[in-house]
Structure 1
Amino acid sequence: MNWDAEVDVVVVGGGGGGLVAALTAAEAGLEVALFEKTEFLLGNTAASAGMIPACNTRFQKSLEIDDSIETMTQDILKKNHFESDPKQVSALANVSGPLVEWLNDSLKIEMSVVTEFKYPGHSNFRMHAPPSRSGLELMRLLKRNALNHENLYILYQSDLEEILLDEAGEVLGISINTPDGLQLIRGRKVILATNGFGGNTKMVQEYIPEIADALYFGYEANTGKGIEAGKNIGAATTHLTAYQGHAAVNENTGLLVTWGTIMMGGFYINIEGNRFGNEAHGYSEFAKEVLNQPEQYGYIIYDEEIHNQLLTIEDYKQLTEMEAFKKADSIETLAELIEVDVKNLANTFGKFSNQTDGTADEFDRTSFAKKLTNPLYAIKVCPALFHTQGGLQINEQAQVLTAEGTPFQHLYAVGGCATGVSGKQAYGYMSGNGLLAAMGFGRIAGLHAVNQLEQIKRGI
């Protein structure tokens, strides 16, 4: 082939997973080319809260939080009903602590443990995030690091065409549509980080029709291109029915309402003023429940103490500045403000207020962190699809597998492009699984590629 360029590592996709993989390889001195489909380095990471679950970190230890790789592995497997590959889950739990400390120490991205509340499924405080609790900040800092490497080339508006193979069926590189036309790029290692297919209406309707009517709250460039390119060369796919939903997007502002509103003691009602499920199970599976309600939206009810504690989260702070909430000194007045049945909401509030933490209610919710007190808050929220969690099948080194289960030696997939650790359905998603699979496998793929190329160089 007549190559237009040759590098050590080709990375396709400039979100969190792609940047972590590219930075890992570039730090080792390899020549890296990163191709981004759009004009920006954003991806789903930028729309997230920037929270990465990690265990056994020095940040946890400084707060006397006793966590372990085994505990985190079991938490993830329990949440997804043991449907994901235990080896992949263990690999991510193993890399999670070193990943967070590398972000902090090598990339100078200040990380700390989120201790305001525990997300559903996590038995410990293990979410780590930058100070603003913002994925946009995380992406800005990753990009800043990438621009500091002269051996890391970033090309925008470059859309993957196909993965190129040699006569033996091994990966040689890619063809990619760039502003200068179709180019052939030789890569000794190729890392796919193109996310999933949440932005591809046809694929969503085919594989996850239950969420097809929801708002899509992910990056528009996530059209499944990497998954399709992998399938075209014989790669296996799994768990294409898996996804992360979210039940709490404020559509008026386009901002996510943190599930901390629930986990710190709030509850979710439909437009008739009634609760309809166990909110504390998880925001991903609850999205489908909201779609089954009248008008397919609802309200989260909580109090001022919770409101004040959440002001450290950038998106929530912006919601406050935009006056996205309704506030009242009684539940009856709040019902009038949000135009729901006063009697229904008052009855719902009364029943909820009488619940005891640890005792199951009619929806099997057992976590009631506090008694809500006046003044009370309400915010209108709707369900959304954030990203898909199924994709190309990979092993614990993030290498893409063939239909026969053997790895392509030079091809990796990370994040939404690959099968994640959320099992087969929305219920398997545990908070942080998306960023963990993107950045964790990004780190794993980068390190594995570096190690493999070093061995080749030494003739091993």
Structure 2
Amino acid sequence: MNKRTPILNPLTLPNGAVLKNRLLMAPMTTCTGFYDGTVTSELVDYYRSRAGSIGTVIVECCFIDPKGPAFPGAIAIDSDNKISGLAKIASAIKSQGSKAILQIYHGGRMVEPELIGGRTPVAPSAIAAPRAGATTPQALTAEEVDVMITKFGDAVNRAIKAGFDGVEIHGANTYLIQQFYSPNSNQRDDKWGGSRDNRARFPLAVLEITHKMARRFADPTFIIGYRFSPEELEVPGIRFDDTLYLLEKLAEQGLDYVHFSVGSLLRPSIVDTQDPTPLIEKYRAQCSPLLGKIPVIGVGGVVNKQDAELALEKGYDLVAVGKACIAYPNWADRIIHNEQLELYIDSTQREALHIPEPLWRFSLVDAMIRDVSTSGRKYKAGVYQEKVEAEALKLKINVTLDTDRITDIQMVPDDTLDVDFTTTFTSLRNRMLVANSPHVDAITGATTQSEALKKAVSRAMSTSNKAWVIDEGGNPLAPQQFDVVVIGSGGAGLAAAIEAHDRGAHVVVIEKMPTIGGNTIKASVGMNAAETRFQQIKGIVDSKELFYEETLRGGKNKNNPELLHQFVERAPAAIDWLANHDIVLEDITITGGMSIDRTHRPADRSAVGGFLISGLVKNINQRDIEVLLETAVEEILLENGVVSGVRVVDEYNDTRILNAKSVIVATGGFSANREMVVKYCPQLDGFVTTNHKGATGSGIKMLEKIGAGTVDMGEIQIHPTVEQTTSYLISEAIRGGGAILVSQAGQRFYNEMETRDKVSAEIIALPEKSAWIVFDEQVRKNNKAADEYIAKGFVLSAPTPGELAVKLNMNPLALEATLNRYNSFVAQQEDADFGRKTALRHPLNQGPFFAIRIAPGVHHTMGGVTINTDTAVLDEHQQVIPGAWAAGEVVGGIHGANRIGGNAVADIIIFGLLAGENAAARAKQHV
């Protein structure tokens, strides 16, 4: 981030709370609550996707009383049963690293009777609002005013229980609090009306009870803000000096901020139209020293960075952003990176932007919507028949396409099909129709069949697209123009494609295999990062310096220091980027070679690979990024030493040129290319590999042809725990969860949490050259991957250790003694035998007990092409090859001589994002 801009400076509020920057998401009506004001999951997603880089999110006004909603779909805080739903919003915002503040209000006379079951709204006086058709409200009695103040207090208490960092008292927009202060709406003759001091009693009483609740139930940094409308047009009505008078009174009681409610940052008076002075300048000139110490939020018309910087320059301390945050969920990231934004929303992107349907129809959003879908892939409308072939399965499907989407997928009737596949087909069909894409999650337990069906739909769409091009007078084999070509659809390639697209590039992803996911889909343990907000939430104290040192030590000091620094520094932001794209890795474990829990994984503790690819593919679909499957890159093209595109050949053996200003190579390593493995590391001949069969080093070869240098090609990692009959990797998370390794003699033989190279060497040194990974029910429950291994049939289990030993053809007494000794180490948190210091989580003493036979397998190639810290590919002389970028396992130098478990996923996301960002920037510069 650009630290030079003042909008990124932190701000300490009067109560000591620290806002990480000067940017806030303004409270904006979404109309998305249920009929009774409870929170919907759509609303939670809406706020989660907009939190993160922005310092604070002020959640839309929440009514405190059943007669308080001023608009349909308003959310409520009028009873304790609303706390759990609101807590989800607070948690979603805070999980992304932003402060969460809840605005509380009562609509008063602005409430329509139909919103409250036909009842009459209430107000300070029985005077209708000055608008056509307004209902005359019922005046609150003195006793009811006291009750109303109590209800505001109850709402504050509930906000605290829901986990919000603060509340904003909504004293603006002619709602109830403002109605009490206004001489137009408040014409009472008791202590709550008449003089200006009496009219100020109600907002002051609401602030007083807010303080009481905060002192009683919240910590001292609970934030209390006040929103105000500076003037009213009505006669009589609130004037600017009245507002300053009230704010001074409120300041005496204590506020952490005040929030202008105006349509434009520099709006002058709406009453004295001859005075062009912005109200913020009047405010700064006329407020007392006491009020002057309270931070002021400005709002209205902020779209780009210069708008926010102007607000601070003119006297605001903080800047609230409204419509721009709806149009751009990652608005803060964009403007910090100096993107110049236009205030509009692509009409096809509602779901991708997490905009709830009611808000989409709201006038505030509707005015921003534009139809920009003409750049998407087009189809010739019609029905296209394709074959689906997978093992014993053979059938035909009819895919119906409109010009821009899949409208139906049907099986051609076939009496030989079994019911199980019919169920699989129905589920997968629904997923593809909803996503308007064949790139969706496979059905669990029917992966092969799912991939075959998805490929058939993809083939139909490709055929239809070619027909459309021909009908339009084009040549489907003619060169195509893109800004960025991404080669490889693993985690690095998909992250790069999404980031490049979001930075304005026209992107295509090329994948030689028939399915998306690359080797990433086989990743199991998680993603390493230090100093993340998820660590902070869990109270894990970590440092980037320690992460750097342990990775360098694990790599035997052979890591490229500059790349490693980039890796460590960018890791927390990469975790946040994933979360902002609905890929939340909030559970944390540990891997071998690490001393701190810093391996982030899904909340359900499942394998990270499938979870990651599923989330990235959803983002690819939402952006309509084109993915060409079963398409190989024959060569990267150069013009005068500068990358100009690629030549590809598809499954039909058709060749064409894709012109591009940037090419990102994210094709993975070469663990599945035995010839290359043996060439660089002859001692690994005969080892199985955990990699998918597409990991053949094709990207390295392509880049070498255009002059790329390579590094560390002989550094090939073997993973210690691989099931040999299936080449299936047993996740390091199992050992990180507390499992142990035992020999056929029933004894531990090494520190299970050492680095992979060392553990592998010890297993190879055993007489059998294999070992058993042993764990109990506690480990199984906390590692969802274990259930996958059980389902695949290579886990042996028994109720007791002795019975398990019999199944393993092992001495029962030896295994029991080993477990007892290990359990004593857990109790002491000291491994006297092998010095294991991490993942001594609990004794292995709860049956059933499990074991998997494992041995090492080729897992990761640390060597690859050379890049600089921008991910630009370097030639043999360390000079940049213009337009060539690389990320992921195709790159060498990051991991040195040995990769720490959990660092590969971090590598692909960190450098994939960086490649996408820089490739898009180059494309823009070379239009």
TM-score bucket of the superposed structures, by smaller chain: 0.7 to 0.9
State the 1:73 CA deviation. 2.0
1:54-100 deviation digits (Å, cap 9, x = unpaired): 23322222223333333322221122122111110111122222222
Alpha-carbon deviation of 1:348? 4.3
Identify which range, 56-65 or 407-416, moves more after superposition. Answer: 56-65
Matches within 5 A, 1:141-156: 141-150=615-624, 152-156=625-629
Q: Please, which of 866, 874, 878 is the counterpart of residue 393 of structure 1? A: 866
- Counterpart of 1:318 in structure 2 is 788
Give the match for residue 197 of structure 2: none
CA distance in 2, matches of 1:302, 1:259: 13
**1:17 Cα offset (Å):** 0.5
Q: 1 CA distance for matches of 2:836 and 2:572?
A: 31
Match of 2:538 in 1: 63
Check conservation: 2:737, 2:782, Cα contact below 8 A: no
Structure 1 range deviating more: 413-422 or 206-215: 206-215
Write the deviation string for residues 341-368 of structure 1: whole angstroms up to 9, x where unpaired: 4455455446545547665655554554
- Give 1:56-455 correspondences, 5 Å limit: 56-105=531-580, 107-109=581-583, 111-115=584-588, 117-132=589-604, 133-134=606-607, 135-150=609-624, 152-167=625-640, 169-179=641-651, 180-251=653-724, 255-310=728-783, 313=784, 315-321=785-791, 324-328=794-798, 330-342=800-812, 344-346=814-816, 348-349=818-819, 352-353=822-823, 355=825, 361=832, 363-367=834-838, 368-373=840-845, 375=847, 376-424=849-897, 428-455=898-925
Do structure 1's residue 46 and structure 2's residue 516 form an aligned pair?
A: no
CA distance in 2 between counterparts of 1:211 and 1:195 reads: 19
Q: Report sequence identity in percent.
A: 27
2:512 aligns with 37
Q: Give 1:321 shift.
A: 4.3
**Is residue 575–residue 585 contact of structure 2 (8 Å, CA) maintained in 1?**
no
Which amino acid in 2 is paired with 1:108? Answer: D
Instruction: Give the conservation status (yes or no) of the 8 Å contact 1:253–1:319.
Output: no
SS at match of 1:216: coil
Q: Distance in 1 between matches of 2:821 and 2:614?
A: 45
Q: Distance in 1 between matches of 2:527 and 2:824?
A: 35
Q: What corresponds to 1:14 in structure 2?
A: 489
For residues 526 and 734 of structure 2, what CA distance do their matches in structure 1 show? Answer: 16
Query: What is the alpha-carbon distance in structure 2 between the residues aligned to residue 281 and residue 129 of structure 1?
Result: 20
1:114 touches 1:125 (CA, 8 Å); kept in 2?
Answer: no
Alpha-carbon distance in structure 2 between the residues aligned to 1:24 and 1:284: 34
* Larger deviation, residues 217-226 vs 345-354: 345-354
Secondary structure of the corresponding residue to residue 112 of structure 1? coil
Q: Is the radius of gyration larger for structure 1 or structure 2? A: 2
Tell whether the 8 Å contact from 1:399 to 1:412 is kept in structure 2 after alignment: yes
| Per-residue deviation, residues 17-37 of structure 1 (Å, max 9, x unmatched) | 000001111112211111100
CA distance in 2 between partners of 1:49 and 1:88 (Å) = 24
Residue by residue over 1:356-409, the C-alpha shift from the partner in whole angstroms, topping out at 9 and shown as x without a partner, is 766565555455444433534322223222231210011111111111111112
Mapped to 2, the partners of 1:241 and 1:439 lie a distance apart of: 24
- Letter in structure 2 aligned against 1:422: H
Residues in 2 aligned to 1:36 and 1:396: alpha-carbon distance in whole angstroms: 25
Match for 1:431: what amino acid? G
Report the secondary structure of 2:672's partner residue.
coil
- The 1:279–1:63 alpha-carbon spacing in structure 2 relative to 1, beyond 3 Å, is closer
Question: Which runs of no fewer than 5 residues in structure 1 stay unpaired?
Answer: none
Partners of 1:94 and 1:379 in 2: how far apart? 37
1:190 to partner: Cα distance: 0.7
Please give the alpha-carbon distance, in whole angstroms, between the structure 2 residues aligned to 1:364 and 1:211.
29
**1:125 Cα offset (Å):** 2.5
TM-score, L = length of structure 2: 0.45
Residues 420 and 434 of structure 1 are in contact (CA less than 8 Å); yes or no, is this contact kept in structure 2? no
Q: After TM superposition, give the deviation of residue 185 of structure 1 in Å.
A: 2.0
Q: Is the 8 A contact 1:47 1:136 kept in 2?
A: yes
User: Unpaired runs of 5+ in structure 2?
Assistant: 1-476
Alpha-carbon spacing, 1:66–1:348, altered in 2? closer, same or farther (3 Å): closer
TM-score, normalised to structure 1, is 0.88
Q: Which structure ranks higher in relative contact order (CA pairs < 8 Å, sequence separation ≥ 6)?
A: 1
Quick check: 209-218 or 355-364, which moved more?
Answer: 355-364
Rounded Cα–Cα distance in structure 2 between residues aligned with 1:308 and 1:370: 13
CA offsets, 1:396-451, max 9 Å, x none?
11111111111112111111111152212xxx211112112212111011111223
Residues 103, 324 of structure 1: CA spacing in aligned structure 2 closer, same or farther, 3 A cutoff?
Answer: same
Give distance in 1, aligned partners of 2:618 and 2:825.
49
Deviation at 1:322, TM superposition (A): 5.2
